[in-house]
Amino acid sequence: MNTLKKLFDLAWPFLRGLGLFVFVVAIAMHLAKPDSGPQVDSDAPSFTVPTLGQTPFRLEAHRGQVVLLDFWATWCPSCRKGLPSIQALHERYAGDARVHIATVNSDQGPGRLPGLKAFMQRRSFDFPVLLDGPESQISRRYDVRSIPTTIIIDAAGKVRWVESGLASTDPDRLTAHLDAAIQSALSGS
């Protein structure tokens, strides 16, 4: 028993230092990169995926437009709280050829399409829904590690804004917050 205590006493300073080192590295990594999403000012990765209506969506086809991509799932409570704001923005910019609002749904499974269609219909949502594949290819390309994550891409194809989580649970404030980010991307600032 005495030998075990001596061994522990010898190892303790090393273990404490190692713990402090791991903590500092974790903080540095957190500060160096947002919780989820690509780096601002990076090129937006191109992709082509089916939509809920089974037509293909090519990001490259929207070059010249500001594109808002909202990553979400039906099982995510925070995502569901943010979707009315996405719908409001979709309606506001429906006639503006400079802006395209779309969402990227990460639900999976055999009942995905009928379940997603029913979800959208029950809530009277009609914004475009892009279907992330079983390998989560869009989420992986955009380094989305948590949902909701919202990304705004400018007309030149650069990531201009990334936000992980909800900025507000008040739909009007959230809509105004996202709208300000869209306006900033439109003005080029």
189 or 153, which is more confident? 153
**Whole-number pLDDT of residue 24:** 44
**Whole-number pLDDT of residue 71:** 95
Each residue of 69-81: pLDDT tens digit?
999 999 999 999 9
Side-by-side strand order, sheet with 159-164: 129-131, 99-105, 66-72, 149-153, 159-164
> Predicted confidence band at 140 (pLDDT cuts at 50, 70, 90)?
very high
- Look at the pTM and tell me if it is higher than 0.85: no
| 3-state secondary structure string across 153-189 | ECCCCEEEEEEECCCCCCHHHHHHHHHHHHHHHHHCC
164 or 19, which is more confident? 164
**Whole-number pLDDT of residue 161:** 87
Distances (CA, A) of 55 to 112, 113, 148, 167: 16, 13, 24, 31
